[in-house]
């Protein structure tokens, strides 16, 4: 019986590398947009997003606010901190989980129906339901497309080199 197809030595490793770089780019771009779109009264919430390897991981809300009630009334917003994703290594690593570690995150994300995010119109630093709109409103898709394009231009993954001269392109 004749065999069909052909082998491209190293191609599977190359595809895994592309997948890992694309996932890392997407995670970092998503967090940057969450920081930009979300509430930033003190800057504390936007700087406490985390990216962990593995999908569906639980990210506990472990951090209390470091600001007193008086400090929160007239804050100076912390500058945005770049959040980096750890590198995915090896085959079969299945992406990232993104979350925020602040204890008041459900209120800041407008996910707590009884929670009040603001005490006055001037303190509302993000539109109502900003997080739900972020996830469901098409922005996530735009970020994934941008991450794919950015990863495609990454010189560390461009130019697949197969194992033999006949398979190099």
pLDDT at 151: 81
Whole-prediction pTM value?
Answer: 0.81
Q: Is residue 6 part of a domain?
A: no
- Spatial distance between the Cα atoms of 165 and 95, rounded to a whole number of angstroms: 33
105 in a structural domain: yes
Q: Which residues lie closer than 8 Å to 168 by C-beta, 6 or more apart?
A: 160, 161, 162
User: Is 106 part of a structural domain of the chain?
Assistant: yes
Q: Does residue 118 lie within any of the structural domains?
A: yes
The pLDDT averaged over each successive group of 10 residues in the chain (169 residues) is 70 80 93 93 93 95 89 81 91 86 92 68 72 90 88 72 49
Domain extent for 141: 11-156
Domain assignment of residue 133, yes or no? yes
Please tell me whether residue 102 adopts helix, strand or coil conformation: strand
Q: How many CB atoms lie within 10 A of CB 105?
A: 20
In a domain, 5, yes or no: no
- 91 domain-assigned: yes
Residue 48: its pLDDT value, please? Answer: 97
Write down the residue that tokens 């007193």 correspond to. 68
| 167 Cβ contact partners less than 8 Å away, ≥ 6 residues apart | 6, 7, 8, 9
Number of domains in the chain: 1
In sequence order, the β-bridge partners of residue 127 are none
* Residue 20 exposure: Cα atoms within 13 Å on the Cβ side: 17
Give the per-residue pLDDT at 164: 47
In DSSP notation, 26-45 reads HHHHHHHHHHHHS--SSSTT
Q: What is the pLDDT of residue 167?
A: 44
The answer to whether residue 70 is domain-embedded is yes
Distance CA 83, CA 33 (A): 11
CA distances (Å), 143 to each of 46, 52, 55, 105, 148, in order?
18, 18, 18, 22, 9
Say what the pLDDT of residue 124 is.
Answer: 56
């Amino acid at each position: 019986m004749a065999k069909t197809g052909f082998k491209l030595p190293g191609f599977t490793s190359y595809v895994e590398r592309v997948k890992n770089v694309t996932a890392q780019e997407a995670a970092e771009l998503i967090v940057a947009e969450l920081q930009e779109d979300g509430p930033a009264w003190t800057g504390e919430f936007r700087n406490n997003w985390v990216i962990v390897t593995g999908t569906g991981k639980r990210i506990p809300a472990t951090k209390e606010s470091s600001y007193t009630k008086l400090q929160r009334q007239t804050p100076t917003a912390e500058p945005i901190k770049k959040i980096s994703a750890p590198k995915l290594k090896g085959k079969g690593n299945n992406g990232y989980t993104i979350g925020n570690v602040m204890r008041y995150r459900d209120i800041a994300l407008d996910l707590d129906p009884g929670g009040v995010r603001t005490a006055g119109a001037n303190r509302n630093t993000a539109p109502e339901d900003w997080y739900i709109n972020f996830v469901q409103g098409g922005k996530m898709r735009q970020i994934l497309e941008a991450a794919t394009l950015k990863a495609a231009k990454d010189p560390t993954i461009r130019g697949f080199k197969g194992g033999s001269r006949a398979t190099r392109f």
